[in-house]
Chains A and B, each alone.
Chain A
Amino acid sequence: MTTAPERTDPTPLAPGAPRSGTTFLGLPTAPRGVGHLRGERPFPDAARDALRDGQLRANLGHATTTIRKKRAAVVGEVPDWEALRQAGKALKTATMARLDEHLVELERRVGERGGTVHWARDAAEANEIVTRLVQATGSDEVVKVKSMATQEIGLNEALEAAGITAHETDLAELIVQLGDDAPSHILVPAIHKNRAEIREIFLRTMPQVDPDLTDEPRRLAMAARAHLRERFLRAKVAISGANFAVAETGTLAVVESEGNGRMCLTLPQTLITVMGIEKLVPTWRDLEVFLQLLPRSSTGERMNPYTSMWTGVTPGDGPQEFHLVLLDNGRTAVLADEVGREALHCIRCSACLNVCPVYERAGGHAYGSVYPGPIGAVLSPQLTGVEDNASLPYASSLCGACYDACPVAIDIPSILVHLRAEHVEAQEKTTPEGAAFTALATAMSHPRLWHLAQRAATLGRFLARGKPTLPAVLPPPASKWTRSRDLPAPPRETFTQQWAREHRR
């Protein structure tokens, strides 16, 4: 199935929010003008700047090398890893096939246990719901657990516009927030900063910080603890995402390391959780698969330090008011694509980022979306409609390392190719690349033309002047191709010429 996006205006679904487009089934993608799914520049332009930043490349190289080794070691010691991976993939496929039924069951179970479920068609609606819920508590500040969903919808900005301060409490999110920066990794949003840079941010922005703070990671972690301790103890409202929700029991799960998640999920009176509709699993037992796959793929640990699970409200223990906001924001448009929907299986471990040669060099900011790396290159364009992130499906060498690393075996390379085809089909004007391939197809289907073309191509040897590759400064439009690729000099003779010469005796 090909889902060439229509460029007609869809029916407005919520007042005020500009829409970007719909899939051919009429399902709206994530709206423009709210949230962080679209970059300001195409990937190649942003990546070119990032590649010039030697510090960034050093930081990313160091961090991804470290985590790749750790992941390989803890995955290697699990004898049934591949069986777990296949179970995870099948579980996600089965969940998507009955997504509506599972969501209704989740809603009922959460309600039975004293929670309230809200539905949000898009980012703007989710932001409105959360803002209203916070305002109803009378609080003008919230503590936040790191959450991709709330990053995606731009919740902090929406709260700020309503006069509510959101304190990020995850160490990396805090670094990004204090540094007035943008996240660049799913798991470690501040991966682009090294310890010395983090120390500098803390010294500059933390009011009570010890001026003798060193860049020793343990000392930096202690500084964050001191900075946030009082905020945790006074917080009335917390906002979290969710790693998993169990439909049959209404149980939510947050997987974390530092204990900031536990602080947020335990101490405030009110807890608001924003969760993409794809994050649920049908049964409690299903978590036995994902709780093995996620930590080893993510931080390279056998198990992350803390996993919190809660079902509605427990009297005398934790928040006494619980709201769950179920977010679409383009997910149903992704679901409509039989090839692309596999991107919804993602459990946000970030293993694909850490193994990707493109991510390792370009970094997360170049992708322009809160979802960078290989999974971002297939997820972001589908959530927004491929024309709003048209360069991302090309931000890959299709080497397949992401597929191998993915704990739920998402075939990212195939989705990338699928989205490239979708982008090409969406073009109304012929591109130079399209014209070249049309000409090539004509030549290849006519032997006489093909031989002529081959002979003509050998003339390219003059351009190469004896070097193995053609110069990178070919005139446009060929320069668009050679700018990022080596074009080998044509051989002296073609394969058929060589064959004929050697065998026709």
Chain B
Amino acid sequence: MSGAREEVLERIRTALGSERRAPEVPRDYRVTDDRPTESLLDVLTDRLEDYKAQVLRCGPDDVAATVAAALDAGLGSGWTPASVVVTPGVPEGWRPDGVSEDDARPAVRLADFAATVTGVAVAIAETGTLVLDGSPRTGRRAVSLLPDCLVCVVEAGEVVGGVPEALARLDPTAPLTMISGPSATSDIELDRVEGVHGPRTLVVVLVA
């Protein structure tokens, strides 16, 4: 196909001609947010709840109990630990007793689990967005996709104000997933309804 490659490139050169004017890009938009952490957490909570995600807040010593409460909220109180998978990098102190760790089984078999618990790479307050980056803490992409309930644990230090700060913290070559609320669609009469192919329930545990 090198013929096509050379030809398309040559067409572009012909189209642009010799005089190419590339303007300076004005970056007059906000790239930082100096609001205190506490108000960023409030904004994040507000945005997540607006998308019908549930938010539970706790201190650093109560994460495992709050994750258990999050699973109660997502699965109902009768859930069995064996139906919950956690990513390999989720700290021991966050894990409710008896939950399974992702054992690198074929991705489609992750659908057997009812819920997933992960950490995040960064969270964006203004848009209510959690970013997973394929690291051990956030797991491979399929693990946060196939089980119907997703519990994400966010630490205060991982929360930034806007999109520019978040992208600056990320490695672009990692497999990235930005999650803003549970799976949803606007395809019926352009109105949003939650719950299609991705996890229908999103519970966020905010640790501060």
Contact = CB atoms under 8 A, between A and B. Distances in A.
* A and B together in one complex: yes
B23 interface: yes
B187 A188 contact: yes
Contacts of A79: 30
A171 B185 contact: yes
A interface secondary structure, majority: helix
B156 interface: no
Interface string B13-28: 1111000111111111
Contact of B22 (A63, A97, A170): A97
Contacts of B24: 90
Contacts of A90: 23-26
B179 interface: yes
B163 interface: yes
Interface residues of B, number: 74
Given A191-B190, A314-B134, A328-B8, A171 B163 contact: no
Interface string B175-189: 111111111111111
Contacts of A91: 25
A94 B124 contact: no
Given A259-B145, A260-B197, A291-B163, A314 B189 contact: no
Nearest to B27: A87
A312 B175 CA distance: 9
B195 interface: yes
Interface in A54-82: 59, 62-64, 66-67, 79-80
A84 B126 CA distance: 15
Contact of A171 (B21, B188, B199): B188
Interface stretch (A221-229, A430-438, A494-502): A221-229
A308 B163 contact: no
A428 interface: no
A170 B185 CA distance: 9
Contacts of A169: 197
B184 A309 contact: no
Size range of the chain A interface in the assembly: 35 or more
B13 A100 contact: yes
B15 A62 contact: no
Contacts of B9: 100, 103-104
Contacts of B197: 169, 224-225, 228-229, 232, 258-260, 262-263
Contact of B196 (A191, A251, A259, A314): A259
A321 to B, nearest CB: 15
A26 interface: yes
Nearest to A325: B1
B107 A98 contact: no
B172 A249 contact: yes
Interface in A253-286: 257-260, 262-263, 265-267, 277, 284-285
A288 B47 contact: no
Given A59-B189, A87-B28, A336 B14 contact: yes
Interface of A: 13, 25-28, 59, 62-64, 66-67, 79-80, 83-84, 86-87, 90-91, 93-94, 96-100, 103-104, 113, 118-121, 125, 129, 169-172, 175, 187-188, 190-191, 194-195, 198, 217-218, 220-222, 224-225, 228-229, 232-234, 246, 249-251, 257-260, 262-263, 265-267, 277, 284-285, 287-289, 291-292, 295, 299-312, 314, 316-318, 326, 328, 332-333, 335-336, 341, 354
4 closest residue pairs by CB, A with B = A259-B198, A332-B11, A258-B196, A259-B197
21 contacts: A25-B15, A83-B29, A84-B29, A94-B22, A190-B187, A217-B188, A218-B193, A258-B197, A260-B196, A260-B197, A288-B164, A291-B178, A292-B127, A301-B192, A306-B177, A306-B178, A308-B175, A309-B177, A311-B175, A314-B134, A328-B11
